Amino acid sequence: MSKTIFQKIIAREIPAKIEHEDEHCVVLHDIQPQAPVHLLIVPKKLIPRVSEAAPEDQAVLGHLLLVAAHIAKKLQLTHGFRLVVNNGPHACESVPHLHIHLLAQRQMTWPPG
């Protein structure tokens, strides 16, 4: 099984603009941003998608949300931000490695498209 692009970034095999890193995750800038701020919060543990997360992944999943809040505060995203998790091809999942999109600094619409 080949590594996902995120595994290669975590292993420093591919360069990326990293905003934050800790023992559980990395936060990097999306290379095709959909908003002025578009970061990806990626667990270091390979979890292919939310629907494949296991009970033992609960702590890391919670950690990802806390990191999102920390980054939003650090970047002073006081007007709000959106967190998005895609799951499967109909949700436009492009990498089979769970990640959270943090989007901000533009008006978001509802419902999302």
- Residue 108 placed within a domain: no
Structural domains counted in the chain: 1
- Residue 39 placed within a domain: yes
Q: What is the pLDDT of residue 24?
A: 98
Q: What is the pLDDT of residue 112?
A: 81
- Residue 106 placed within a domain: no
- Residue 110 placed within a domain: no
Active site residue 38: no
The one catalytic residue among 20, 29, 38, 99: 99
DSSP letter string over 33-92?
Answer: -SSSEEEEEEESS----GGG--GGGHHHHHHHHHHHHHHHHHTT-TT-EEEE---SGGGT
- Residue 54 placed within a domain: yes
Assign 26 to helix, strand or coil. strand
How does pLDDT run along the chain (113 residues), one tens digit per residue?
699 999 999 999 999 999 999 999 999 999 999 999 999 999 999 999 999 999 999 999 999 999 999 999 999 999 999 999 999 989 989 999 999 999 999 999 998 86
* Region class of 57: left (phi > 0), else alpha (psi between -120 and 50), else beta: alpha
- Residue 107 placed within a domain: no
Tokens of 105: 């600094």
Domain holding 75: CATH number?
3.30.428.10
**Stated pTM of the model:** 0.94
- Residue 104 placed within a domain: no
